Structure 1
């Protein structure tokens, strides 16, 4: 025989206690970029020769100068090669500073938390 009896009932409910707002913003700024670039220039000089040659001269290099023979045939009773000119090609190198602004993107996040009154 029970004189008194207790019963337990458990329930769940959702309670909103805060609101969170997140804002993401993307900004762009220019970032200067400096690089040292290497550039090679070519200088071509025509050197008149007008020499008769027995065979086609070879392309050669002398003291850092590339020499390309240019010949032409002349018609006589016999044909012979005449070295008309040589192209003297000299390479020079220089370094130049290169600068340019490049756009970079960056995102910022702002978080606001507002507590609810309960």
Structure 2
């Protein structure tokens, strides 16, 4: 079989090209929707209850009026701190006279206290915002990215 449309092959046959198709694939980003995230701060009052320790000191003056040879130091007797107060008295000779002692006793007590406080918390609000519809393309159109 011979034809005038193409060069002959080695065997004497002629090849006639018919139709050739090709495909090109491209990608395009399409925005479907958007998300908006915002925060809000809310405040609320709450009552806080806490036990607080208080310490008080009671001072008791104890008269002594006794002569001593040396100045006594501060001492602790159980839960009482004793602070001696000494006075010099002029006599023909000098002598120390213990006039009085201060006895200090500490009392501890617990007091319930209520106080309003303001607490803040932050919440996230997420809203979906729809995007405008993507343009419809015919199958023969090419995208600008290709």
User: Fold conserved (TM > 0.5)?
Assistant: yes
Q: TM-score by structure 2 length?
A: 0.69
Gaps (5+ residues) in structure 1?
none
Query: Aligned residue pairs: how many?
Result: 118
Deviation at 1:42, TM superposition (A): 0.8
Gaps (5+ residues) in structure 2?
1-15, 134-146
Counterpart position of 2:96: 81
Note the aligned Cα RMSD (angstroms): 2.0
CA distance in 1, matches of 2:129, 2:78: 80
Larger Rg: 2
Residues 50-73 of structure 1, C-alpha deviations (whole Å, 9 max, x = no match): 222222234333353222110011
Matches within 5 A, 1:1-118: 1-116=16-131, 118=133
User: What's the secondary structure of 2:63's corresponding residue?
Assistant: strand
CA distance in 2, matches of 1:10, 1:30: 61
CA distance in 2, matches of 1:63, 1:14: 84
Task: Please list every run of at least 4 consecutive aligned residues from structure 1 whose deviation after the TM superposition is greater than 6 angstroms.
Answer: none
Q: 1:14 to 1:63 in 2, by over 3 A?
A: closer
Deviation at 1:115, TM superposition (A): 3.4
